[in-house]
Amino acid sequence: MSETPSGQVTDAIRHADILIIGGGLSGAMLAAQLLRLPGKRQVLVIEPRAELGRGEAYSAVELGHTLNGNAARMSVDPDNADDLTQWLTDYIGAGGWPESDEQHVPISELFPPRGIFGLYVQQRLAEAQTVGALNGSTVEHVRAEVVDLQTDADSVRLTLNDGQRLQGAFAVLATGMFAAARTPQTESSGLNAAALDPWDVAAMRQLDPYSTVLIIGSGLTMVDAVVSLEQAGHRGPIEVFSRHGLLPHVRRQPPAWVDFLAEDPSIRTPRQLVRELRRHCRDAIAQGIDWQAPLDTVRAHIGRLWSQASDAQRRQFVRHVRPWWESHHHRSPPLSAELVARLHGEGRLRIQAASFKGLAPSKGGEVSIRIRRRGEVQTVVVSGAALINSSGIEYDWRRVARPLPQQLLARGLIRPGPLALGIAAQVDGAVLDAEGRAASRLFAMGPPLRGMWWESTAVTDVASQAKALAARLANNAVASELARA
């Protein structure tokens, strides 16, 4: 895998068949699928990080930052659900990750560190490159950030932050997730400037180990932040504030349950879904079966239910169901959940239902925030030695103060997705412009399609989308060649 040095400024335009914008999981898996298809094609992956396949999610280096799904649920091969389990078996057998013994479960039930999962993605990409080379296909990593994009009838042109210009027959927005803690906001409250990175253990080691740390948000990013604090040696109070005060449940391995949504297609609305799901959960509990069993059957139907719902029904789900869906469905890995439960039981970690209302003046090296507790009218100020933004993912591209999202919006090449979640696109990933017209050469996959499918961030979602989109791009390329002939 070759790399273009950052800092090179040139007037020349580099050409490729397909330009993939983003080299995390989404971009790497799309590149791998393209390499495996018959035919010769040149692919450029534009990614500012030093490595492909890691992105925001899998660049973590601490062993305590694990996947929130076990190996059996996290295969990057849509045709082999056991692919990660098989890779881990070989990796552990060769002496990798000796700490896996601490989980005391079969390999298929292990929750691997995200850094090790990144290695797995990279190896599968490298294997695909070997296959692609037999057909003359290549993937090249261009280490830079895309700052502008333009399209015409025949191509897509990119401008990079180092002055390079690229041109391709097709381009794919595989930008991954914009973590709120690391993403500049168009209307910033100054929160990120005052906050520690949730995954920066080295910075947390600089804190007084017995000082108070404030955390905004109580989802999986908060769990990661607590793990980071523990690994940094922090032993003081942790105050967590979120609007509903809900913690992620621990992920367990429940037995199979009847797929009640497949049996009853009349269930379509959020109200119907919640009512029927509660009934099945009560039935499971009455039989001595984990309530997570019926909940897990819903996962396969979320895309269908969300896409066929009206905007009013989607708003109803987001407003009334989403907090509980997130805490029950996006569950915490067992070891991390055990840590959070232990600290909560010791009184060191306290969860409060309260909304963040902004920073407040502080003194003495502390950081102060203004909050409003649930059910109260007045705001109060709380202070601590450090603040962590664990409010999750920013899906509204209008609020992301990065050059490419802002330029795409300004040029009218994209429009917000349903409820401003990600961007709008057709079922095949073709991006919709500001007028609702489908692009013929600009596509999207993964987290940018959150508004289309609701769940568009999980590994299995991304892997399936990568396979389908790769086939679509290959077919489009053939059609374009025939049209020019």
Could you give the CA distance from residue 184 to residue 190 in angstroms, rounded to a whole number? 9
Domain final residue, candidates 389, 405, 425: 389
In a domain, 83, yes or no: no
Q: Which residues, 6 or more positions from 323, have their beta carbon under 8 angstroms from its beta carbon?
A: 243, 244, 246
Same domain, 345 and 468: no
In a domain, 166, yes or no: yes
What is the residue range of 224's domain? 181-249+331-389
What is the reported pLDDT for 2? Answer: 43
Q: What is the pLDDT along the chain (485 residues), one digit of tens a residue?
A: 445 444 444 568 999 999 999 999 999 999 999 999 999 999 999 999 999 999 988 988 889 999 999 999 999 999 999 999 999 999 999 999 999 998 889 999 999 999 999 999 999 999 999 999 999 999 999 999 999 999 999 999 999 999 999 999 999 999 999 988 888 887 777 888 889 999 999 999 999 999 999 999 999 999 999 999 999 999 999 999 999 999 999 999 999 999 999 999 888 888 899 999 999 999 999 999 999 999 999 988 998 899 888 999 999 888 888 999 999 999 999 999 999 999 999 999 999 999 999 999 988 889 999 999 999 999 999 999 999 999 989 999 999 999 999 999 999 999 999 999 999 999 999 999 999 999 999 999 999 999 999 888 889 999 999 999 999 999 987 656 545 54
Same domain, 223 and 142: no
Could you give the CA distance from residue 313 to residue 269 in angstroms, rounded to a whole number? 7
In a domain, 70, yes or no: no
Same domain, 215 and 168: no
Could you give the CA distance from residue 384 to residue 371 in angstroms, rounded to a whole number? 13
In a domain, 81, yes or no: no
Same domain, 185 and 37: no
In a domain, 300, yes or no: yes
Same domain, 457 and 405: yes
Same domain, 149 and 240: no
Same domain, 425 and 478: yes
Same domain, 130 and 26: yes
In a domain, 74, yes or no: no
Two tokens at 158?
Answer: 């990119």
pLDDT in tens, 334-372: 999 999 999 999 999 999 999 999 999 988 889 999 999
Domain final residue, candidates 329, 348, 377: 329
Same domain, 154 and 299: no
- In the chain, the number of structural domains is 3
What is the reported pLDDT for 1? Answer: 47
Residue 332 is given by DSSP the state: B
Q: Which residues, 6 or more positions from 37, have their beta carbon under 8 angstroms from its beta carbon?
A: 470, 471, 474
* CA-to-CA dists, residue 474 to 30, 36, 171, 221, angstroms: 12, 11, 12, 37
What is the reported pLDDT for 485? Answer: 47
Q: Can you give the pTM of this predicted structure? A: 0.92
Same domain, 365 and 405: no
Same domain, 198 and 290: no
In a domain, 277, yes or no: yes
Same domain, 345 and 265: no
In a domain, 150, yes or no: yes
CB atoms within 10 A of CB 29: 30
Residue 136 is given by DSSP the state: T
The CATH number of whichever domain residue 347 belongs to comes to 3.50.50.60
Domain final residue, candidates 370, 389, 408: 389
